[in-house]
Homo-oligomer: A and B are copies of this chain.
Amino acid sequence: MDNNPYNTDLDRNPANHQPLTPLTFLERAASVFPDHTAMVHGPLRRSYAEFYARSRQLASALAQQGIGRGDTVSALLANTPAMLECHYGVPMCGGVLHSVNTRLDAAVIAFQLDHARSKIVIVDSEFMPLMQEALALAQVSPLVIQYDDAEYQGARAASDAQDYDAFVATGDADFGWLMPEDEWDAISINYTSGTTGDPKGVVSHHRGAYLLAQGNALTTSMAKHAVYLWTLPMFHCNGWCFPWTLSAIIGTHVCLRQVRAAPIWDALADEGVTHLCGAPIVMSLMISAPADEKRTLERTVQFFTAAAPPPEKLLADMRTAGFDVTHLYGLTETYGPSVVNDWHQGWSDLPAAEQAALKSRQGVRYLPLEGLDVMDPETMQPVPRDGKTMGEVMFRGNVVMKGYFRNPKATEEAFAGGWFHSGDLGVRYPDGYIQLKDRSKDVIISGGENISSIEVEEALYRHPAVGIVAVVAMPHEKWGETPCAFVELVAGQDVDADALRAWCKERLAPYKVPGKIVFAAIPRTSTGKIQKFVLRDQAREIAAGVGALTSA
């Protein structure tokens, strides 16, 4: 018997316990601010009443097709109203949303559809040929719904798929949508693009989505009626949960099919955008736009960046242009951002270089993340807070995934010792802020010494002619591995490999200076992440003497 008197006759019941789910945010927004603009897409404007009604119609239409609890609905969509509706309509009938990266190749998509047991796919006209190719390879035969976005200017492939709007119209706008039976129920699955092995399906639950969606607003002080521009792909970790955050604060989504400078600047100025997210490449794109594409902003805009530390010059340019940049970090396994470079007021008075150094750190735990540490994965002991000792970044808390779908072995490994093992290597400073130094697999081991590729990249980034740089391991007869740097120059600037190596020698220990510097376009994913596995292959080819690139 429990001796705690506060556990007697004080049980959960429907009056005092409901599953946490972000679906209730939309219900509230539509009920309280039905006429507030929920989304803008070109000339289209939809209110919260319409957003909610259409999401319920979608849920109803899906339910009529037999979609229920635990059934997967896949979406191959751009940042459009349909994608926002899927983030509510799919879970509203108990379904699990599987957002697909639109830059993947057909074979990977086919793998995902089969692995997730997809029952319905909702596909933008632009990506219908890709989906058709994937479906030809897949075992499953989901029902195909085609979304014909008015903002899409390209060709339409022949397809006998049902039209999305017609499909939604078959649903009931008063549909009695389903709360999750338990807040632990899955709300989405997102596949991570691992460099080796099959993609892993990261399962998120309603509880975590609710908490991270709120955490976005709380951690970054997003106020009521914020206006959010969709430069971050929604297929990327459910748009870091921002499709749900905006309903919590009754904000406005500004959709965007393509990340180009002119429409970004126009939206910032014309729609009163207050917040947007993206990798540093999005900032570069905006800052380097021709003057006639840029617009003057009437207010400071919040830019949340992740994927790579923002370089000093870019930070300065962004500040001048009217942006306040916050550095976030997280993984698909942590619902998107769960670490924030929480800025101290006094830091803004420091010299620009010191500010950039502070800003390059990933930071501290988000409010809804209970634990963040850098540990030795063997001993599970935290590393000293010296800013030097490397360990693996570990997460613990309510915004860590449910696990990997149909992959108990990977799940077990990921959660070994009661912490989520991120695979990212980093250090912790005396003030508790963490900084990434590398992916486990990105460490370069030269003569038995670990070299952080990020440290080498940072040294090169400080050179004024260097635009983008990526450093990977290249096989080396004597040392085992040596750093190989891939460099994109700033337009109009020039520098040769010897000069860059001399630059590095002044700033790095000799064994960290790149053995090879390659000037070439650097391959990136759709989210702006540099594809180091491609570069690693190139470095191996160069080492083997079969490189066809312009190298020095």
Contacts and interface: CB of A to CB of B under 8 A. Distances in A.
B408 A370 contact: no
A223 B224 CA distance: 11
B185 A367 contact: no
- What bracket does the count of chain A residues touching chain B fall in? 35 or more
Most buried by B among A5, A184, A224, A249: A5
A218 to B, nearest CB: 6
Interface in A1-46: 3-18, 20, 24-25, 28, 31-33
B432 A203 contact: no
Contact of A18 (B69, B70, B370): B370
Contacts of A367: 25, 28, 214, 248
Contacts of A370: 18, 24
A468 to B, nearest CB: 31
A71 B34 CA distance: 47
Nearest to A398: B18
Contact of A70 (B3, B365, B400, B415): B3
Contacts of A24: 370
Most buried by B among A6, A12, A249, A401: A6
Contact of A5 (B13, B70, B342): B70
A69 B3 CA distance: 9
Nearest to A364: B32
Contact of A10 (B17, B33, B203, B396): B203
Nearest to A211: B20
Given A24-B370, A214-B218, A225-B345, A415 B13 contact: yes
Contacts of A15: 395-396, 400, 414-415, 418-420
Interface of A: 3-18, 20, 24-25, 28, 31-33, 69-70, 96, 117, 184-186, 189, 203, 208, 214, 217-218, 221, 223-225, 248-249, 342, 344-345, 364-365, 367, 370-371, 395-398, 400-403, 405-408, 411, 414-415, 418-420, 432
Given A6-B96, A18-B396, 18 more contacts: A4-B70, A6-B70, A6-B185, A6-B186, A6-B203, A7-B185, A10-B403, A13-B415, A15-B400, A15-B418, A16-B396, A16-B415, A18-B370, A18-B371, A28-B364, A33-B342, A221-B249, A223-B223
